[in-house]
């Protein structure tokens, strides 16, 4: 239970869903973890800070709008001041969108790109200098099976998740000589508040197309992120870790 001992991790979108699962498992594996989100986790204190309790530690909380570059700089500064540095960034914050090209308004396009793509860019830009000061680190960017495969509609969402894969590879080769690794995770259907907001018909269709015949839980993604964040993957950078029950193998 100490695969991440001594490491400091920042997880965006860490209040619920996949991000919450990642933050809690990282802490259970020995990391010092800050979950950053616009949603306050439960329990939370009046000043916006709270902790996730789990078996082997706790996760601190900081408010963060990932589309706000000043907010990123503030959170990174807080984490460095409080814990001495940052070893791991998980860019997990994301929003869904379901409109096809002819239905998609520019405002919705901008909203989804702002969180899913610009948020990843701002997160890496804010944290990479801290990793340089630390002597290296691991960037883990959450993409999606729909960054690699098409689904009817969902243009903005697919565009951002494909972009996250390309941005990850770019960061990987740009910073490899500085011991900063970058990898993308491509989840399949995961039981989260986002998928709960989708129609049952849509969810059933995705699960029916998954060879394992079922969806997954946030913990399934979290274990993959532990590997990419740990020294076990010291020679792994610029790759996609697909965790999808076989969906993309069809």
- Catalytic-role residue among 146, 157, 223, 227: 157
β-bridge partners, 10: 34, 89
DSSP per-residue string spanning 153-188: S-HHHHHHHHHHHHHHHHHHHHHGGGTEEEEEEEE-
- In angstroms, rounded to a whole number, what is the distance separating the alpha carbons of residues 104 and 106? 7
Rg (CA), the chain: 17
Q: Which two tokens stand for residue 11?
A: 């997880």
Report whether 180 contacts 170 (CB < 8 A).
no
Q: Which two tokens stand for residue 133?
A: 């000061």
Q: Where does the chain show beta strands of DSSP type E?
A: 8-12, 32-37, 51-54, 57-63, 88-91, 137-142, 180-187, 240-243
Question: Which sign does the torsion angle of CA 73, 78, 83, 88 carry?
Answer: negative
**Largest CA-CA distance found in the chain, in angstroms, rounded:** 50
Which residue, 88, 103, 184, is CA-closest to 138? 88
146 is catalytic: no
User: Active-site residue numbers?
Assistant: 157
């Amino acid at each position: 239970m100490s695969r991440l001992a001594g490491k400091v991790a920042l997880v965006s979108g860490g209040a619920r869903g996949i991000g919450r699962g990642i933050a809690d498992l990282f802490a259970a594996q020995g990391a010092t973890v800050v979950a950053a989100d616009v949603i306050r986790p439960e329990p939370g204190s009046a000043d916006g800070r709270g902790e996730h309790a789990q078996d082997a530690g706790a996760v601190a909380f900081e408010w963060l709008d990932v589309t706000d570059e000043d907010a990123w700089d503030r959170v990174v500064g807080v984490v460095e001041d409080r814990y001495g540095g940052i070893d791991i960034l998980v860019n997990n914050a994301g929003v869904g969108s379901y409109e096809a090209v002819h239905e998609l308004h520019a405002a919705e396009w901008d909203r989804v790109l702002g969180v899913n793509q610009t948020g990843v860019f701002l997160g890496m830009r804010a944290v990479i200098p801290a990793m340089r000061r630390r002597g290296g680190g691991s960037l883990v960017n959450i993409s999606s099976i729909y960054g690699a495969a098409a689904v009817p509609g969902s243009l903005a969402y697919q565009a951002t998740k494909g972009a996250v894969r390309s941005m990850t590879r770019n960061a990987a080769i740009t910073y490899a000589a500085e011991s900063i690794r970058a990898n993308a995770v491509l989840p399949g259907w995961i039981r989260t508040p986002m998928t709960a907001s989708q129609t049952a018909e849509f969810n059933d269709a995705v699960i029916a197309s998954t060879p394992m015949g079922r969806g997954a839980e946030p913990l399934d993604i979290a274990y993959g992120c532990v590997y990419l964040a740990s020294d076990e993957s010291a020679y792994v950078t610029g790759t996609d870790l697909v965790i999808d029950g076989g969906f993309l193998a069809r």
